[in-house]
């Protein structure tokens, strides 16, 4: 969330920028400050979104609801969801990526606090959450433009075009969807202030924004559950803007429809070859599962990716190594076992880097820091953590590794399982997630 103080300082900075550029304004799409509760204003926002996207507009119903009613957005979790959340949070807490005693309901509440608006492809409608900010301000109009971009993405099949198979893929795919909406939101905001896009210091602001989001993630007790807020916008928008600068609206749209499938590429601001992104992970799945023996059995698997690795190493006070290791992460698998009481968990993270030197640096950083089994083989590092220390002491130094069960493909849904606002049919959007509002 951005405080009122943040908003005031931003407005002053943008006013000063626009004062310097008035008189040399380039032709842009029409958009103006108006009251988003009025149909004429909603039409302005819809047309602006389409214009900036090089698209034809679509009429989308808009509803404004008070924050106090957002609890109705969620359905109560099932017992199975609650258990899955507890077990996976316990496993991720071994890697400092979740807190074992934070409940699913608490995590969901944190996620809902981040939501400023959402577009539902099932109802084809936009919902704006009223936090008490003026609904006739530039910020509200920009947010409505953002949501209208999601409506356009829905119409042309962008939403749901790529089905993420892992947590890592899920972040990357979401980032470009949100990145396009945030980019157009920013362009609309600049237009409302009469500021030329080429006079705006995009890259320094992206750098500052990403740094701030990293800090927010490091400060969170549940960083993976909140990745949507921390990663999607700040790391997706620069890639979408790069595509726009290279090939206009057509390149922008095709890039969003063929996103990178790893957070490594997202953090590097490099698209690469989407088809190749899953190759290393597929190879790793042949040696993903340690043979723990009774009373443990396989529970779930996933790929956590570079963002999670960066967060993990940063939490061991290895921030710089986290950045370099994330940039060299070729692929990973993450497997959870549970015991027959469904209480104790073992989390195994198999990391493959581009080179053995990075693997050695990661091994050195984690060795002795936590009571895990850790070892290196070439460019691979394997980490095995257990909630039951006694069991861990009995575990061989390097338990044999086998393939994922054939009937248990990587299941991203279970890693950060929650009843939060993220689902396949609804694009949720945090209220302050655009570069212009984060300068
Ligand atoms: Zn959005």
**Does the pLDDT at position 418 exceed 50?**
no
- CA 349 to centroid of ligand 1, rounded, Å: 31
| 283 has a pLDDT exceeding 80 | yes
User: Where does the pLDDT of residue 119 fall: very low under 50, low under 70, confident under 90, or very high at 90 and above?
Assistant: very high
Q: State the pLDDT at residue 436.
A: 66
Residues 266 and 239: beta-carbon distance below 8 Å: yes
> What is the Å distance from ligand 1's center to 329 Cα?
28
Tell me, yes or no, whether 193 and 112 share the same domain: yes
Distance of CA 10 from the midpoint of ligand 1 (Å)? 21
Cα 178 to ligand 1 centre (Å):
5
Q: How far apart are CA 201 and CA 436, in angstroms?
A: 10
Bigger pLDDT: 18 vs 231 = 231
SS3 (DSSP) at 115: coil
How many angstroms separate the alpha carbon of residue 179 from the centre of ligand 1? 8
> Between these two residues, 373 and 106, which has the higher pLDDT value?
373
Q: From ligand 1's centre to the CA of 143, what distance in Å?
A: 9
Q: Is residue 255 domain-shared with residue 318, that is, in the same domain?
A: no
Which domain covers residue 63, as residue numbers?
Answer: 4-22+41-68+91-268+427-438
Residue bearing the bigger pLDDT, 75 or 303: 303
- In angstroms, what is the span from residue 175 Cα to ligand 1's centroid? 9
Residue 129 lies in a domain: yes
Residue 182 or residue 13, greater confidence: 182
Mark whether 101 and 237 lie in a shared domain: yes
pLDDT in tens, 352-371: 999 999 999 999 999 978 77
Residue 412's pLDDT is 38
* Residue 421 falls inside a structural domain: no
**67-74 long-range contacts, CB within 8 A, separation 24+:** 67/129, 67/130, 67/131, 67/132, 70/112, 70/115, 70/129, 71/112, 73/112, 73/115, 73/118, 73/421, 74/108, 74/112, 74/419, 74/420, 74/421
274 within some domain: no
pLDDT of residue 13 exceeding 80, the answer is no
In a domain, 31, yes or no: no
Please state, rounded to an integer, the average pLDDT across all residues of the chain: 84
Query: Ligand 1: distance of its center to the CA of 309 in Å?
Result: 25
Q: Mean pLDDT over residues 4-23, rounded? A: 39
The reply to whether 86 falls in a domain is no
Model pLDDT, residue 160: 83
Give the pair of three-digit tokens for residue 294: 């009774």
Instruction: Decide which of 30 and 106 is more confident.
Output: 30
Same domain? 292 vs 225: no
One domain for residues 48 and 163: yes
Pick the more confident residue, 326 or 227. Answer: 326
Asked which of 190-194, 357-361, 407-411 is least confident by mean pLDDT, the reply is 407-411
How does residue 10 score in pLDDT terms, banded at 50, 70 and 90?
very low
**What's the CA gap between 34 and 39, in Å, rounded?**
10
The predicted pLDDT at position 229 comes to 84
How far does the chain reach from its first CA to its final CA, in angstroms? Answer: 14
> Same domain, yes or no, for 156 and 46?
yes
Compute, in angstroms, the gap from residue 63 CA to the centroid of ligand 1. Answer: 16
Ligand 1 centre to CA of 432 (Å) is 10
Q: 65 CA to middle of ligand 1, Å?
A: 17
Name which residue leads in pLDDT, 39 or 433. 39
Is 50 exceeded by the pLDDT of residue 218? yes
The reported pLDDT for the residue numbered 392 is 85
Same domain? For 299 and 225 the reply is: no
Does some domain include residue 114? yes
Average pLDDT over residues 25-50: 89
Judge if 347 and 199 occupy the same domain: no
Give the per-residue pLDDT at 431. 55
| Residues 343, 234 within the same domain | no
Do residues 310 and 241 share a domain? no
150 C-alpha to ligand 1 centroid (Å): 7
> What is the whole-number distance in angstroms between the Cα of residue 103 and the centre of ligand 1?
26
pLDDT in tens, 78-110: 888 889 999 999 999 999 999 888 788 878 777
CA distance 379 to 360: 8
Q: For residues 91 and 88, give the distance between their C-alpha atoms in angstroms, rounded to a whole number.
A: 5
Q: Regarding predicted confidence, which is higher, 411 or 429?
A: 429
Task: Report whether pLDDT(74) > 80.
Answer: no
Report the pLDDT value the prediction gives residue 9, as an integer from 0 to 100: 36
Assigned domain for 330 exists: yes
What band does 71 get if pLDDT is binned at 50, 70 and 90? Answer: low
The structure's pTM equals 0.87
307 CA → ligand 1 middle, Å:
20
User: How far, in Å, from the CA of 287 to the mean position of ligand 1?
Assistant: 37
| Ligand 1 centroid to residue 336 C-alpha, Å | 32
Is residue 260 located within the same domain as residue 341?
no
- CA of residue 289 to ligand 1 center, whole Å: 36
Q: How far is the CA of 139 from the centre of ligand 1 (A)?
A: 14
pLDDT, residue 380, reads 96
Instruction: Name the domain count of the chain.
Output: 2
Cα(48) to ligand 1 centroid in Å equals 16
Q: Which residue has the higher pLDDT, 228 or 240?
A: 240
The Å distance, Cα 270 to ligand 1 centre, comes to 21
Cα(381)–Cα(372) distance, integer angstroms: 12
DSSP string for residues in 153-190: HHHTT-TTSS---SHHHHHHHHHHHHHHHHHHHHHHHH
Same domain? 148 vs 264: yes
Q: Is 115 domain-assigned?
A: yes
pLDDT tier, 42 (very low <50, low <70, confident <90, very high otherwise): very high
**Alpha carbon distances (Å) from 152 to 134, 234, 258:** 26, 21, 16
CA 46–ligand 1 middle distance (angstroms): 14
Alpha carbon of 429 to ligand 1 centroid (Å): 4
């Amino acid at each position: 969330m951005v405080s009122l103080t943040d908003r005031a300082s931003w407005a002053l900075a943008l006013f000063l920028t626009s004062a310097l550029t008035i008189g040399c304004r380039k032709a842009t799409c029409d958009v103006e400050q108006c009251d988003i509760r009025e149909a004429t204003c909603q039409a302005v926002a819809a047309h602006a979104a389409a214009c900036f996207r090089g698209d034809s507009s679509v009429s989308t119903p808009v509803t404004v609801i008070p924050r106090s009613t957002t609890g109705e957005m969620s359905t109560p979790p099932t017992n199975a969801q609650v258990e899955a959340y507890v077990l996976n949070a316990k496993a991720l807490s071994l890697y400092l990526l979740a807190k074992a005693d934070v409940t699913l309901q608490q995590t969901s509440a944190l996620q809902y606090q981040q939501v400023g608006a959402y577009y539902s492809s099932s109802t084809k409608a936009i919902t704006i959450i009223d936090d008490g900010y003026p609904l006739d301000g530039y910020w509200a109009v920009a947010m409505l433009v953002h949501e209208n971009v999601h409506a356009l993405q829905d119409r042309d099949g962008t939403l749901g075009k790529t089905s993420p198979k892992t947590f890592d893929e899920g972040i990357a795919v979401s980032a470009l969807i949100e990145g396009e909406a945030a980019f157009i939101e920013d362009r609309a905001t600049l237009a409302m202030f009469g500021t030329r896009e080429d006079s705006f210091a995009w890259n320094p602001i992206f750098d500052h924004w990403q740094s701030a989001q990293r800090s927010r993630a490091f400060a969170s007790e549940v960083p993976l559950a909140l990745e949507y807020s921390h990663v999607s916008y700040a790391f997706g928008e620069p890639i979408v803007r790069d595509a726009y600068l290279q090939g206009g609206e057509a390149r922008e749209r095709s890039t969003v429809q063929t996103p990178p499938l790893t957070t490594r590429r997202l953090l590097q601001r490099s698209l690469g070859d989407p088809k190749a992104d899953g190759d290393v992970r597929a190879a790793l799945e042949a040696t993903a599962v340690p043979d723990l023996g009774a009373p443990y059995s396989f529970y779930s698997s996933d790929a956590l990716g570079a963002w999670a690795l960066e967060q993990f190493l940063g939490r061991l006070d290895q921030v710089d190594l986290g950045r370099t290791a994330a940039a060299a992460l070729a692929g990973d698998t993450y497997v959870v076992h549970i015991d027959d009481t469904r209480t104790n968990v073992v989390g195994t993270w198999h990391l493959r880097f581009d080179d053995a030197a990075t693997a050695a640096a990661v091994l050195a950083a984690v060795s002795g820091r936590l009571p895990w089994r850790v070892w290196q083989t070439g460019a691979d590092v394997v980490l095995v953590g257990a909630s039951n220390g006694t069991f861990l002491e009995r575990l061989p130094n390097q338990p044999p590794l086998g393939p994922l069960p054939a009937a248990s493909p990587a299941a991203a849904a279970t890693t950060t399982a929650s009843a939060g606002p993220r689902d396949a049919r609804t694009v949720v959007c945090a209220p302050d997630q655009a570069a212009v509002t984060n300068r």
